[in-house]
Amino acid sequence: MDQLLQCAVGHPGSRRLHSWQAPGPGPDHHHGSCTDLQRNLPRAIFISIPLVTFVYVFANVAYVTAMSPQELLASNAVAVTFGEKLLGVMAWIMPISVALSTFGGVNGSLFTSSRLFFAGAREGHLPSVLAMIHVKRCTPIPALLFTCISTLLMLVTGDIYTLINYVGFINYLFYGVTVAGQIVLRWKKPDINRPIKVNLLFPIIYLLFWAFLLVFSLWSEPVVCGIGLAIMVTGVPVYFLGIYWQHKPRCFNKFIELLTLVSQKICVVVYPKGAEDLKMEDRNQDMEQQQPICQPPASKDKDAVGP
């Protein structure tokens, strides 16, 4: 995700990925290149998805083979019950493995969710402070803090399983909409630059399974899905207040500016430079390199008459 963020805020043409240059004589930030990302990201996807699918399928085969249907239904944690039944004194391995797996999933979600807020702020859909990055580490500190606060607010609910159902349905719904948007953009804007381009067969297959599971979820749990949709609709007033409403009162804009300034001072963050700024900086550096190092001294007047 760090490489994805670098390519998002940087300028691939100049092969500089972090768009903010630290003051002083220090060097620019160079951490890999977008070319490496275009090669490594498809590899990571094609290797990780079959590997994870293989592990999950055979783990469930092991559960079904070693446990009866009654034991599976009565168990609150199937993996833990499986370990207690087969591993004996080494049964503690299963809860630790589950905890490590959960920690890895939460870690990945933390990085991806904050980058979503970061990208939304860059497009003007969220407060501009969420599009700022740290002056030294080049990480979106405000977006990370916003993710942390929103997560803590969600944990206020008493039933964690209900929260999982709500959030899971909303995430799954947006996954399908995002993949469908890829197909629409391929049709409406076929000539735009695509650093990573995949065959449309893959999103079409995904959407077929997505539609089946979505309809099945709406039919089996309409109340949970309805509440999840209601939570999603709460973003509509925020959209009209922050984006659609263009002519805001001056006091409102002053408050937002003050809040942004305070957040910048607390988090030590700045706006990343845009592509145009980087092009101008590169042009200035090229002009400086073309200038001679030593300027010839001004020639004396040859017509001057000596004493």
Q: Which stretch of 8-17, 112-121, 173-182, 218-227 has the lowest confidence by average pLDDT?
A: 8-17
Q: What is the pLDDT of residues 201-257, one digit of tens each?
A: 888 998 999 888 888 888 888 887 888 888 888 888 888 877 788 787 888 888 888
pLDDT at 282: 53
Q: What is the pLDDT of residues 26-40, one digit of tens each?
A: 333 333 445 577 778
pLDDT at 153: 82
| Residue 283 pLDDT level (bands cut at 50, 70, 90) | low
pLDDT at 208: 92
H or E element, residue 78: helix 78-86
Q: DSSP letter string over 21-69?
A: PPSSSPPPP----HHHHHHHHHHHHHHHHHHHHHHHHHHHHHHHHHS-H
pLDDT at 72: 84
Q: What is the pLDDT of residues 122-176, one digit of tens each?
A: 888 888 888 888 888 888 888 888 888 888 887 777 777 777 777 778 888 888 8
| Residue 61 pLDDT level (bands cut at 50, 70, 90) | very high
| Residue 57 pLDDT level (bands cut at 50, 70, 90) | very high
Rounded mean pLDDT of 99-117?
Answer: 83
pLDDT at 51: 93
Rounded mean pLDDT of 176-199?
Answer: 85
Q: Which stretch of 208-212, 271-275, 295-299 has the lowest confidence by average pLDDT?
A: 295-299
The owner of tokens 């070319």 is 35
Q: Rg of the chain's alpha carbons, rounded to an integer?
A: 27
Q: What is the DSSP letter of 191?
A: T
pLDDT at 58: 92
pLDDT at 122: 85
pLDDT at 114 over 70: yes
On whether the pTM is more than 0.85, the answer is: no
Tell me the domain boundaries of the chain. Answer: 1-20+28-155+247-278, 157-246
pLDDT at 303 over 80: no
**134: buried, middle or exposed (CB in 10 Å: 19+, 13-18, 0-12)?**
middle
Share above pLDDT 90 across residues of the chain, in percent, rounded to a whole number: 4
3-class secondary-structure state, position 11: strand
